[in-house]
Amino acid sequence: MPRSAKHLRGEVKPSKFKTSMCQYFIKDSECPFGDKCAFAHGDTELRSEQQNLVIHYLDHLISSDDSDSSA
C-alpha cells in the first residue's frame, strides 16, 4: 500500500492522529516511523477523533495562555 506524501512529511489532520492501527505494527514488522508514527502501535495508543479534537483544543488554550503571560 503506497503512503501518501502527506504521511511521509508528517502532515496528518490532528483529528486523525492515532485513530487507526499502524499497518507495520499489525504485520509484526518494525515501523520505520517509530514514535513519530501517526498511527497507533497497540490498543493503548488508539484514540477517537473526539479525543483528538479535545486534546487539540486544550493544547491551543495552553499555548494561548503561555503567549499571553509572556507579554
Q: What is the 3-state secondary structure (H, E, C) of the chain?
A: CCCCHHHHCCCCCHHHCCCCECHHHHCCCCCCCHHHCCCECCHHHCCCHHHHHHHHHHHHHHHHHHHHHCC
Residue-level pLDDT at 30: 93
Kindly report the pTM of this predicted structure. 0.64
* Region class of 18: left (phi > 0), else alpha (psi between -120 and 50), else beta: left
Q: What is the pLDDT of residue 1?
A: 42
Boundaries of every domain in the chain: 15-66
Mean pLDDT of 37-44: 95
Structure confidence at residue 4 (pLDDT): 52
Q: Is the pLDDT of residue 34 over 60?
A: yes
Q: Is the pLDDT of residue 31 over 70?
A: yes
Q: Which residue has the higher pLDDT, 7 or 39?
A: 39
